[in-house]
Structure 1
Amino acid sequence: GLGRLIIGAVLSRDFPVIQGGLLFLALIYLTVNLAVDLLYAAIDPRVRLE
């Protein structure tokens, strides 16, 4: 998968593939984090979005 692609790129010093893979992982992390925050605010009425 993506992890194997990034590890192979690191070993062969393929910097554009490393950058692309890490950017993709960061975007996935941010998207999941935002979704969890919004769901948590929707489920728990004590949490307010400001």
Structure 2
Amino acid sequence: MQIVRTFAPIVAGIGAMNYRTFISFNLIIIVVSLLPSVFHIYQEYKSNRS
């Protein structure tokens, strides 16, 4: 996912993307990229608790 975030500003600039749309897509990508880590931390917490 980080490779997408590396080239996103360049592609958005070339395509003349609206700034608000760019920020919205960036926030979605950040949340999606954090989900595996959050899920892993939750599983570790749950397994250590029982």
- Normalized against structure 2, the TM-score is what? 0.48
Greater RCO structure (CA 8 Å; 6+ sep): 2
- Normalized against structure 1, the TM-score is what? 0.48
Larger Rg, first or second structure (1 or 2): 1
